[in-house]
Structure 1
Amino acid sequence: MPRTVAVGLDGSPESRAAAEWAAREAKLLGVPVKLVHVWEPVPEPMAQAPLLGAETHQHWTERVPREAAQGLRSRHPGVEVMTEQLPGHAGELLTKVAKESGLIVLGSRALGGLGGFMVGSIGMSVVAHAESPVVLVRADEQAADEHESDPAGVPSTATAFRPVVLGLDTAAPDDALIEFAFEAARRRGTSLRAVHAWYPPTYYAYAMPLDAELHASLAAGEATALADALRPWRHKYPDVEVVEDSHCGNAADALVAASAEASLVVVGRRVRRNPFGTHIGHVTHAVLHHGTAPVAVVAHG
């Protein structure tokens, strides 16, 4: 379990939405939430300017986390809220904060009517390099969006949480990824929908389209592989209802579609030791940019 739920805060609408999500998650976890405000030091010539002296700069950099913390304390009584200010490069420092806290939440801009996320360079850098889970939250994300609709068809915090969706590769199921998803579902008192998408082996390419019997045989094998991967976790979390979703098709498309009815989407990222580039995988990349629910990226070996 994370020691704190950290948030990268810069005062933008997306970072405020991330802070709200983090406070709700911190309450579920029973840990503090830490608002981390990273600011680039002002170059010396600018710091000496009459309208941007050291005292003025300090006032504005302290105001962002102070006001955000006050708002969270009033809206989320019982949740301990801490603040931290760090000077330097945001991507590097927030990656370090993620390691220290065990979980970090970042905001991303929504893509308007198209849905999905617009993930900035800082967010992508943290996702690509942090070895602790990173959660991306859209600017327009509301608490009610994570819940089922009420009888009037309106999402409401008075109703149950929507399912947690897990993207799972049955060829290499990772314990850290699966455990994170089951724990998230358990905390929310909701079901876990495990999504596994597959394509026929390449040597069937010349036999396309597949006849019905061969397709059914392949589908049964893939469904069995998914059930086998989840079986020990069903025993470990008997109170979590599990829905197994295995079908032929594109994994990214399946997860993006599932995100429309999810409270949280959990996907993986293989840890790369190469310090260059953003190694997050094409499926995770697609979910980050096109999913419509908060997305947790869990690094694994």
Structure 2
Amino acid sequence: MKSHVTVGVDGSPESRAAARWAAQEAVLRQVPLRLVHAVDWPLDPVFPGLGRQDVDRWADQALTEAAQELHGRHPNLEITTRCLTARPAAALAAEAADAGLLVLGSRGLGGLVGFIVGSVATATVVATDTPVVLVRVADDPDNERDIGRSVTRMVDDMLLPWHHKFPDVNVSHNVFMGSAGEHLVRASQGAGLVVVGRHVRRSPLGVHLGSVAHAVLHHAAAPVAVIAHG
């Protein structure tokens, strides 16, 4: 049986770039392509209110969108998808065991030549004997649009439980790239209240206030509420 190419997919621009590269490689090798998404449950507390059903729906959407795009580019390529509940590094390493190649996405360093290799990619490389290719996402306007779409979907999923809990509250949201503090200060013009969070953490020098909360507290034109969270 011919070895396939496996690629990690999570809906991010980095993983989409990796999936495109992996598809081209699979075509060259004349082998199938397997798209893998791993969900480490329960999620980090940074996603409050996001239920298992929401996470599964988002994972299926990420895999479906990636597969549809790749089918459009390579209609004769055999593509399968797998969604696993496990730590991503362990799941990807296990899926790579019978693959000829594992492909992962990695962030580029802006205009510099190089990669930012995340903890999942690092752990996966160490955990597998299968050759691993890290694909850098291109730095261009298309990448910015991809990032915006990916973050918008994530925000939609995070807000969904709160929409159900408070159906009478009209909510709109914007996704932007750049300084969060700067954008919040600008958005405070004409607002009735600006709400920012801060992590509860202490250092030997006392309580630490993040740069975003600091900027809003000093420069916002509206009243500011600071909400502490763990």
Which residue identity lines up with residue 103 of structure 1 in the other structure?
L
Q: CA offset at residue 114 of structure 1?
A: 1.2
Q: How many residues of Structure 1 are paired with residues of Structure 2 in the alignment?
A: 139
Which residue identity lines up with residue 74 of structure 2 in the other structure?
H
**Paired position in structure 2 for 1:11:** 11
- 1:129 is the counterpart of 2:111: no
Alignment of 1:142-153 (within 5 A): none
**Paired position in structure 1 for 2:33:** 33
- Quick check: 1:108–1:136 contact (8 Å CA) kept in 2? yes
RMSD value over aligned CA atoms? Answer: 2.5
CA distance, structure 2, for counterparts of residue 6 and residue 138 of structure 1: 17
CA distance, structure 2, for counterparts of residue 112 and residue 79 of structure 1: 32
Which residue identity lines up with residue 95 of structure 1 in the other structure?
A
Alignment of 1:113-192 (within 5 A): 113-140=111-138
- 1:106 is the counterpart of 2:104: yes
**Paired position in structure 1 for 2:72:** 74
Tell me the percent identity: 47
Indicate how the Cα distance of structure 1 residues 90 and 96 shifts in structure 2: closer, same or farther if over 3 A, else same: same
Q: CA offset at residue 120 of structure 1?
A: 0.8
Runs ≥4 in structure 1, deviation > 4 angstroms?
Answer: none
Q: CA offset at residue 62 of structure 1?
A: 1.0
Unaligned runs of 5+ in 2: 141-230
Q: CA offset at residue 57 of structure 1?
A: 2.8
**Paired position in structure 1 for 2:62:** 64
Unaligned runs of 5+ in 1: 143-301
Please state whether the residue corresponding to 2:76 is helix, strand or coil: coil
CA distance, structure 1, for counterparts of residue 100 and residue 30 of structure 2: 14
- Quick check: 1:2–1:103 contact (8 Å CA) kept in 2? no
Q: CA offset at residue 78 of structure 1?
A: 0.9
Which residue identity lines up with residue 140 of structure 1 in the other structure?
A
Q: CA offset at residue 92 of structure 1?
A: 1.2
Please state whether the residue corresponding to 1:17 is helix, strand or coil: helix
Q: CA offset at residue 102 of structure 1?
A: 2.5
**Paired position in structure 1 for 2:84:** 86
CA distance, structure 1, for counterparts of residue 73 and residue 61 of structure 2: 18
- Quick check: 1:17–1:141 contact (8 Å CA) kept in 2? no
